[in-house]
Structure 1
Amino acid sequence: MKVIIAGGGTGGHLFPGVALASSILARNPSAKIIFIGTERGLEAKVIPKLGYELRFISARGFVGKSITEKSKSLMKLLQSIGECRSIIKSFPPDIVYGVGGYASLPMVFTASLSKIPTVILEQNTVPGLANKILGKFVDAIAITYPETIDYFPKEKVYLTGTPIRKEILLGSRERAIELFGLEEGRMTVLIFGGSLGARKINKSITEGLSYLIPLKDRIQIIHQTGEADYSWVAREYQNFAFKATVLPFIYEMAEAFAVADLVICRAGASTVAEITALGKASILIPYPFAAYNHQEINARRLLSRGACEMIVDRELNGEVISQKIIKILSSPEIKREMEFASLAFGKANAAERIIEIGESLIRRKS
């Protein structure tokens, strides 16, 4: 079986595609998979390191650009469609999956016109521009939230959840304690703001340390800061004598999740999918500049089910976040109810469901 996975740009689009590819190979080891992306996207750094073939197209972003840049984007889109035709000719796929982002649009559109089975994944409540357009052409649409069905032709929509990396489900708490230099018997708070960190989160946490002193002997912290903030954040923990493992980047995220009693992070689709698949209590701080404000919408979905606490970025400060940490970690009942609600929200088998939909489309074509 030959598979094309198109899209990326950001981790929220790319990592569900990576999770899907991993599940395809686990199910069908002889499958051949290539990714389609751009030289500017995150996929240019990530995909080659994972051992998958990556082919570039000329697509550019459209949303939020000036009129001049939008005109250039449209020209690049036409160029990309020609490039996608060439890719399909050299690597005729049995199915094409689009994982979102502007790189997915020309490939999925071209495949649809070529009568190749197509599936798009929509990880957020409100679809991005590419998926709104592609919804009219593709054979199936895999969504994460029930509300998303209103944006697409209902007969094409399947409520599957967002694919997550299987290794996230296999993290070892015991290995985490050794790896991060933690102590048994303490509650662990995991804090991260994306691969580059998030200064607003870093500042609010360090400002909140004075409020967290009543918990100091009961908690320990794993904090991913990003390279730019690493030194001063580590120094603040030392100044307040908190037990904390501060890292520019966490490579062993499965272990970090496994040991976490509380997760504090942004509300990107992939992160939310991983947190809920694991049933973790969380404080979500949506990135305020996300397209269509989708992170806040994602977080409010969990909040409405009691699966998280949420702080909007403009209201984030040390006192506010420390109060929420104390509220959750001082009440086993609140924490337990949040974990149950989170787990009920999660869908650990999303990738398998999406693959089954794709296989059904391939059989139908045959």
Structure 2
Amino acid sequence: MKVIIAGGGTGGHLFPGIALAESIIKRYQDARIVFVGTQKGLEAKVIPRIGYELRFISIKGFIGKALGDKAKSLWSLAKSMSESKKIIDSFSPDIVFGVGGYASLPLVLMASFKKVPSIILEQNTVPGLANKILGKVASAIAITYPETVEHFPREKVYLTGTPIRKRILEGDREKAKELFNLEEGRITVLVFGGSLGARRINKAMTDALSYLLPLKNSIQIIHQTGEADYNWVLAEYRNLSFKTTVIPFIYDMPEAYSWADLIICRAGASTVAEITALGKASILVPYPYAAYNHQEMNARRLLSRGACELILDREINGEILAKKINRILNNPEIRREMEMVSRAFGKSNAGEKIIEIAESLLRRKQ
């Protein structure tokens, strides 16, 4: 099987694509997979490190750009359509997957023109511009949330969940204990705000420490800060002598997840998919500038069933965050209920479901 996985830009789009690739390789060991993205997207750094073939197109973003930049974006789309045609002609894929982001747009459009079956993945409640367009031409649409069906032609839509990397489910607790200097018997709180960190979360968490002093001897904290905030966050923890591991970036996230009893983080699609597949209790702080406010919508869906607590970015401070933490950690039954509902949301076999849809499309074509 020859597969193109197009899209990326951010981890929320890229990592489901990587997870899907893992599922394809597991099922078709001789599969050849090519990722297509841009030189400025996260894929340019990540894909070469994990060994997949990567090709670039010239597409640029459109949403939120000034008028002059939008004109350049339209020109880059025309150029990227030509580049996409060359990629498809030279590679002859059996199927094309669009995992979101503007880099998926020209590849899936060209696949439609060339009569190559295509599937787009929509990880958020409300689709972005690229997927809104591609929903009209894609052969099938794999969604994470039932509400998303109203944005697409219903006959093409499949509720699959978001693919997650198998490694996420296989965290090594012994390795984690050494990596993060963890102690048995303590409740572990994991805090992160994406690869660059999140200053609002960092500030709220450090301000919360004075309200969490009664828990100091019973909890331990793993906190990913981002490079910019690392030094001052570390100093705040040391001032109050909390047991913590402060780190600019967590490379071994499966290990961090394996010990986490409570997670405090943003509400991107991939993150939500991972913490629900693992059945973790969480306090979600949606990134307020996400396109179409999709992070808040992701979080509110979990909140409506009791799978998480929610604090809006504009409202978060140390006192509010500490109240949420205390409520969850001081009431084991609340945490257990959140974990149970979270796990009910999670779908660890989304990649396999999407491959089955692809196989159905290929059988129809034959």
Deviations 1:137-187 (A, max 9, x none): 011000000000000000000000000010000012232122211110000
The one-letter amino acid paired with 1:220 is: Q
CA RMSD in angstroms comes to 0.6
- For 2:63 and 2:109, how far apart are their aligned partners in 1? 18
Q: CA deviation at 1:268?
A: 0.2
Please show how residues 163-312 of structure 1 align to structure 2 within 5 Å: 163-312=163-312
**Partner of residue 62, structure 1:** 62
Match of 1:85 in 2: 85
Shift of 1:326: 0.5
Query: Which residue in 2 is equivalent to 1:23?
Result: 23
What amino acid is aligned across from residue 246 of structure 2 in structure 1?
V
CA deviation string 1:243-272 (max 9, x = no partner) = 000101111100100100000000000000
Task: Provide the secondary structure at the position in 2 that maps to 1:121.
Answer: strand
The equivalent of 2:48 in structure 1 is 48
Runs (5+) with no aligned partner, structure 1? none
Question: 1:75 is matched with which residue?
Answer: 75
Offset, 1:345: 0.4
> Does the 8 Å contact 1:172/1:259 carry over to 2?
no
Larger deviation, residues 24-33 vs 173-182: 173-182
Take 1:314 and 1:218, find their aligned partners in 2: how far apart are those partners? 30
Contact persistence 1:286–1:313 (CA under 8 A): yes
1:128 is matched with which residue? Answer: 128
- The equivalent residue for 1:316 is 316
CA distance in 2, matches of 1:103, 1:252: 28
Q: 1:76-120 CA deviation, whole Å, 9 max, x = no partner?
A: 101100001101111000000000000000000000111101000
So what's the TM-score if we normalise by structure 1?
A: 0.99
Identity over aligned pairs, percent: 72
Matches within 5 A, 1:130-169: 130-169=130-169
Measure, in 2, the Cα distance between the counterparts of 1:179 and 1:254: 12
Q: Quote the Cα distance in structure 1 between the aligned partners of 2:182 and 2:330.
A: 20
Shift of 1:40: 1.0
Structure 2 unaligned segments of length 5 or more: list them. Answer: none
Superimposed CA distance per residue, residues 2-54 of structure 1 (whole angstroms, 9 cap, x where no aligned partner): 00000001110010000000111111110000001001111111111110111
SS in 1 for 2:314: helix
- Give the letter for the 1:75 counterpart: W
Give the superposition deviation at 1:68. 1.1
**Distance (whole Å) between structure 1 residues aligned to residue 168 and residue 40 of structure 2:** 27
Matched residues, number: 366
Q: Is the 8 A contact 1:9 1:101 kept in 2?
A: yes
